[in-house]
Every structure is written in C-alpha cells, then in structure tokens.
Amino acid sequence: MRAENVSARDVLSPLIEKYKGEMIDTMSHMISIPAISPESGGSGESKRADFLESILKGFGVETKRFDYKDESGAVRSNIIARYGSTKKVIWIVSHIDTVSAGDLSLWNTDPFKAHVSGGKLYGRGSCDNGQAVIASIYALKALLESKAKLKYGIGIALVADEEIGSTYGIKKLLGEGIFGKGDMYVVPDWGTPDGSKVEVAEKGVLWLKIKVTGKQTHASTPEQGANAYRYMIRLLNELDERLHEKYNNKNPIFEPPFSTFEMTKREPNVDSVNIIPGTDVSFMDCRVLPDYALDDVLSYVNSIAAGYAKYGVKVEIEPYSRDDAARPTDMNSELVKLLAAKIYKLRGVKITPVGIGGGTVARYFREGGMQTVVWSTLEDVAHEPNEYAIIENMVNDAKVFSNLYV
C-alpha cells in the first residue's frame, strides 16, 4: 500500500461521529445561557463564555479570555484557543452572541431551552452561530484525541458582539496581536443547505438615514406648510431609480449579481390624520458591488438630495452605518483549494465560490489582507422564530473542519 493512502485515511470522522450525543448536550446547555447584547435587551456573553471555556478546558486545551466592558457596563466575552506548534494557523471564527428571541408567541417551544426533534435542534442561536461554535470545538477535540500530525496550527476563536457590529468582538481582537497576517480564516456564519458554496467576497454595506424637514401645518391648508412626507416619497422614488440606473454593473459570482438599494425602515411622523408632517425620517439599505466606492454612492445621493431645496424642504443624509467592501479572497488561494479538496474528499461535493450581500466578520480579516472564506452547511433560519440547526450538519461540518488540519 502506498504511503499516501495511509495518510489519506480519515480517522477524525469516526471520532466526531462518536461525539454526536455530547455535541447535542453541549449545544443544548449553551442555548440555555442567553448571550444577547444590551442593545437587544440582554446582558452580554460572559456567562455563556464561562461555560464554553469550561468545555474547552475539559478537553485539555489552554484558553485565553478577552473580556471588554461595553458602554452599558456589560461584559462582552471572547475566547481564544490555540493548539499546535505549526507556524501557520487555520482559525475557525464563530460568534457566541445571538439576537433576541423576538415575538415569543411565534415560537413553538421555549427559545432558550433546546428541543430536539426530527434530527433538528431548536433554540435561539442554534443555527446562528451555535452550530459553528459546537462544530469547531469538537473538531479540535477530535484532533487532540487522534494525536494526528498537524499540517497547520489550530486556532479557535469564539467571539462576541457580531450581531451589532463587532465593536467588542473581532474589531477589538484584531488589535490584540492574536491573528497572524499569514494565517488563514474560516468563518462559518453563512452557508447553503448542501454546503456546496463558499463565500469569497462581500458587497459594501451602506445604511442611510434620510431626514426631510419641511413645515408642519393643518391638512386643510397645505399651502401654509411644506409636507415633509411628500418630498420623502419623491426622493426615495428618485433614489430608487437613479441609484439602480447608475450602479448597474453585474457580477455573476454575487447572489444577487447586482447592487441593491432598498428603502426599509421609516420612523413614525404625526399621529393625526389631519396634520401635515413637518419632518419625515426614512432609511435605505444599500449593498454595493466592490466595483464601486461607497464614497461615490454617498456623494451621488447627496447631489440628488440637494435638488430638493427648491421645494422649500431641507434634506439631510447620514451614513447610519457603513462597511466598505474588502478585496475578495482569491478563488485560487491555498485556503479555498484546501477547503474544496476536503469537502470533495469527505462528501464528493464540488464547491462553487460566491459573493454575498454581507456582512460577516470575514470582511475585517479581508481588510487586513488575510485569506478568509465563509463556509458552512446551513439552513436559512437565522434570526427567525423556531430557529434550528440540523444535527447532521453540525456533525458533518466538524468532520470537514478537523480534516483541514491534517
């Protein structure tokens, strides 16, 4: 028998299969400890981090804790585990915070009590991003138990605050000197149900807060005021048409393959039918292909808005949130090839590189020029009531993760 056949034998998958019950237990326990940001009514990740740290320590892994106090005084906890002396590290980065449960009446079971049925594990944060958290730590456990010879160092990052912008998660951690420029990063925070797509690019994301100020008056005497709502509608319609017209490039790797400009949230204005509103505030969510600079989009929006002065209203445009698109990860990079090879070996599936509307923490690594892919085998149920993870996906993704290192 040739040597390469011996080394190609997968000793890790049977180990992970054996952990299945334990993985379900750990996930269930984790779900019972909420980790919601104060902005969404929670108290941060520290209790959940305590639990996960104890699990990792139980595997015999050294962990490092990075706790940051946020503006509300809540402790936002991140855990870093490193193993192996190999210089180049593959990091698996998942987030331990979740969104809130939302409308409880829409849940069939308690969102903070795991419910297993039909091969699915239900609970808030089971899919986003619990499946990845559990898969990554049990991949590590299998690598330790197998005593496999490692080609890459193992890095597990369980991070805070992803749902609200990563201020106390990845953005802080990137300043701690943990992550190497030459390391490689897997972010399992997006995926398709068959695991056949790997995300290598994200669009730029620009949220606009648009405020139109006119003059409030009685609805029977509109000539004495300036209806802010009327000009808001006109402006939104004009922006909708002109932004789509001007930024019309197509790039087939993205889903959808073009930039999107959507009017979304609208603040309440007046509470009587017979009052003409003096102010109106609306929001747009823009997802822009990397071909265009967000600065350019912003100044185009401002130039259109300036045209409304002639109607006697003032328009203010505020970039409410913005994340410029980072350079995509090369489809022929070591990481994309490695992941493709392991998925093909374990599942016989050929992966397709794609770009998405964003945004995951991958963009922060890509901004630093680091090779980063977003991949997992995932149902599209994040943030929904009755969110669930398919147990087989959690187990099978752990097999892929562990195989990346050998």
Instruction: Provide the minimum distance between the beta carbon of 188 and Zn ion in the complex, in angstroms, as a whole number.
Output: 9
Nearest alpha-carbon partner for 325 in 191, 155, 205 = 205
Q: Provide the 8-state DSSP code for 166.
A: S
| 23 vs 187, beta carbon nearer Zn ion | 187
The DSSP result for 327-394, as a single string, is: PPPPTTSHHHHHHHHHHHHHH----EEEEES---THHHHHHTT-EEEE--B--S-TTSTT-EEEHHHH
| 346 vs 382, beta carbon nearer Zn ion | 382
199 binds Zn ion (CB under 5 A): no
Which residues, listed in sequence order, are joined to residue 36 by a DSSP beta bridge?
Answer: 98
Residues in the chain: 406
Tokens of 133: 């958290």
Instruction: Provide the minimum distance between the beta carbon of 215 and Zn ion in the complex, in angstroms, as a whole number.
Output: 44
| 129 vs 131, beta carbon nearer Zn ion | 129
* Closest residue to Zn ion using C-beta atoms: 128
C-beta of residue 169 within 8 angstroms of C-beta of residue 67: no
53 binds Zn ion (CB under 5 A): no
| 189 vs 199, beta carbon nearer Zn ion | 189
Q: Write the interaction track for Zn ion spanning residues 3-32; mark x where CB under 5 A is met and - where it is not.
A: ------------------------------
280 binds Zn ion (CB under 5 A): no
CA pair distance 347, 376, nearest whole angstrom: 13
Q: Write the interaction track for Zn ion spanning residues 89-128; mark x where CB under 5 A is met and - where it is not.
A: ---------------------------------------x
- Strands 275-276 and 217-218 come out as antiparallel
269 binds Zn ion (CB under 5 A): no
The structure tokens 């005497």 sit at 221
Contact pick of 126, 129, 227, 279 for Zn ion (by CB under 5 A):
129
189 binds Zn ion (CB under 5 A): yes
Which residue numbers are catalytic?
Answer: 97, 162
Q: Which stretch binds Zn ion (CB under 5 A): 104-112, 189-197, 319-327, 332-340?
A: 189-197
CA pair distance 148, 28, nearest whole angstrom: 29
Backbone angles phi, psi at 332, to 5 degrees: -100, 15
Instruction: Provide the minimum distance between the beta carbon of 95 and Zn ion in the complex, in angstroms, as a whole number.
Output: 6
| 128 vs 202, beta carbon nearer Zn ion | 128
131 binds Zn ion (CB under 5 A): no
For Zn ion, the binding residues in 347-386 under the rule CB under 5 A are none
CA pair distance 27, 134, nearest whole angstrom: 6
Instruction: Provide the minimum distance between the beta carbon of 127 and Zn ion in the complex, in angstroms, as a whole number.
Output: 8
CA pair distance 93, 394, nearest whole angstrom: 15
For Zn ion, the binding residues (CB under 5 A) are 128-129, 189
